[in-house]
A and B are shown apart, each in its own frame.
Chain A
Amino acid sequence: EVQLVESGGGLVQPGRSLRLSCAASGFTFDDYAMHWVRQAPGKGLEWVSGISWASGSIGYADSVKGRFTISRDNAKNSLYLQMNSLRAEDTALYYCAKDMNYDSSGYLAVDHWGQGTLVTVSS
């Protein structure tokens, strides 16, 4: 059974940093692209970032480019999101998501989702 378990969320002040982690199990992690998708309270889904199986293809939404960095450690079956210079508008539930594809960071055919980790940016 595919499992994606996010961690690292919490309350953080504007301008500070936070690192999210996603532990994957139940599938061959390095065979698939992965994404971070967020959902602000009461709002829709927003693609944040994606990374291909071997990290050769990486993409970011314009809203986070230059502030967020996605990475993966295939040896540890883990996905990460380093979030710097956080803003109030980054407040959201952050989902770790597995793509059906392996070679692009943006195809967004997500067949498995985690339960999300909540990030709240507030002073």
Chain B
Amino acid sequence: QSALTQPPSASGSPGQSVTISCTGTSSDVGGYNYVSWYQQHPGKAPKLMIYEVSKRPSGVPDRFSGSKSGNTASLTVSGLQAEDEADYYCSSYAGINKGVFGGGTKLTVL
């Protein structure tokens, strides 16, 4: 049960789009459509942004979108805004009643 692989950092200017990847294996990301994405601001609890690969909970702006291809899931943030600056984590079902998170990506809005 290894952590999913995310780039440590990502950045973009206001109004631009940025995509964060989350790479696993066929035993987790590639094997199930149970990939979620979370946003965490410093000192705060995480917030669910995407679940089941591409579904958005109510209240999450449609600037946030998710997708998956093979063993890699992606979170795209379009029309970057200053408040999007945060840490982002992916998670996935890993089979046999287990879950797993990615290592996290720090998104900087330049």
Which residues does A use to contact B, with CB under 8 Å? 35, 37, 44-47, 50, 57-62, 95, 100, 104-111, 113-116
Contact = CB atoms under 8 A, between A and B. Distances in A.
Contacts of A59: 96-99
Interface in B63-110: 87, 89, 91-104
A108 B91 contact: yes
A6 to B, nearest CB: 11
Given A35-B99, A105-B97, A106-B94, A111 B46 contact: no
A106 B51 CA distance: 13
Nearest to A45: B101
B99 A50 contact: yes
B28 to A, nearest CB: 10
B9 to A, nearest CB: 13
Contacts of A108: 34, 36, 91-93, 99-101
Interface of B: 1, 3, 34, 36, 38, 40, 45-48, 51-52, 57, 87, 89, 91-104
Given A105-B99, A107-B99, A113-B47, 14 more contacts: A35-B99, A37-B101, A45-B46, A50-B97, A59-B98, A60-B98, A106-B93, A106-B97, A108-B99, A108-B101, A110-B36, A113-B46, A114-B45, A116-B45
A47 B36 contact: no
A56 to B, nearest CB: 10
A46 B89 CA distance: 10
A113 B1 contact: no
Contacts of B95: 106
A47 B101 contact: yes
Contact of A62 (B1, B89, B103): B1
A45 B38 contact: yes
Contacts of A106: 34, 93-99
A61 B11 CA distance: 31
A44 B102 CA distance: 8
Contact of B104 (A37, A44, A61): A44
